Amino acid sequence: MRIVDLSMELRTGTPVFPGYPTPIVHVWTSIDEHGYYSNLLVLDEHTGTHVDAPAHFIKGAATIDEVPPERFMGEGVVIDVSGLPPKAAITEELIREALKGASVGPGWVILFRTGYDKRAGTPDWFDHPGLDEGAASYLASLNVNAVGTDAPSIDQQPFPAHRILLAKGIPIYENLTNLAEISGKKFKFYGIPLRIRKGSASPVRPIAVVAEPL
Ligand SMILES: [Zn+2]
């Protein structure tokens, strides 16, 4: 079995969604001065690779600390949408075609590979394909554990997929990376968030455990 790291590096200046503060990783103590090394983190919950809780878009819905941990793992599948044009809609038809009747449902985590992780911090980073309303409703009807993308958002404004998936209690991973490495493979996904009280999201270091010999 092989482990694939699906996270972006978290550092001062990691690119963020417009309007969010640039993260800071600042040396707080050093071995030379204090005898032990540590950093101060200043960042929004939606910095780098992170997972959105239902409360991010739905008033009164579960915050990140209230989502059961089993939601943040499952049988993984990557749907490759990297061939789509800028800002293209990822549709129900496209998802059905990609899944080809596989029995995907509760216990599954569906990841979309847009390839836009490679454009992080560039002007066209936000031209990524996104789930449309029909696609989000279809995924919600499948009642999957979670959904994710290697783009900075699962959808484009006015964020129909955020509203539909989160209303169904389905967490959303954003800013994943390395999805090409696990595309077409059988893997288990694990992406446990921090237990932030009343958190709207949390940074995560998700991994894929690929069921194949090295
Ligand atoms: Zn988010």
148: in domain: yes
Cα of 213 to ligand 1 centre, how many Å?
34
Cα of 29 to ligand 1 centre, how many Å?
30
Range of the domain at 114: 2-6+48-210
105: in domain: yes
Task: Compute the C-alpha angle 201/59/189, nearest 5°.
Answer: 35
Terminal Cα-to-Cα distance of the chain (whole angstroms): 7
Total of domains in the chain: 1
172: in domain: yes
42: in domain: no
What is the rounded average pLDDT for all residues in the chain?
97
123: in domain: yes
pLDDT tens, position by position, 17-62:
999 999 999 999 999 999 999 999 999 999 999 999 999 999 999 9
Cβ–Cβ < 8 Å for 130, 150: no
Cα of 83 to ligand 1 centre, how many Å?
24
Is residue 124 classed exposed, middle or buried when 0-12, 13-18 and 19+ CB atoms within 10 A define those classes? exposed
Cα of 153 to ligand 1 centre, how many Å?
7
99: in domain: yes
Dihedrals φ, ψ of 150, to 5°?
Answer: -95, 10
Residue type, 118: K
Q: Residue 183: which CATH number? A: 3.50.30.50
Cα of 10 to ligand 1 centre, how many Å?
15
Cα of 210 to ligand 1 centre, how many Å?
26
Cβ–Cβ < 8 Å for 174, 153: yes
Cα of 36 to ligand 1 centre, how many Å?
33
Question: What residue has token string 């800002």?
Answer: 87
40: in domain: no
Cα of 203 to ligand 1 centre, how many Å?
9
Cα of 37 to ligand 1 centre, how many Å?
30
pLDDT tens, position by position, 125-178:
999 999 999 999 999 999 999 999 999 999 999 999 999 999 999 999 999 999
Strand order in the sheet with 146-149: 2-5, 207-210, 187-190, 73-80, 108-113, 146-149, 172-174, 50-52, 201-203
25: in domain: no
What would the mean pLDDT of 4-14 be, rounded to a whole number?
97
pTM, two decimal places = 0.97
Size of the chain, expressed as the number of residues it contains:
214
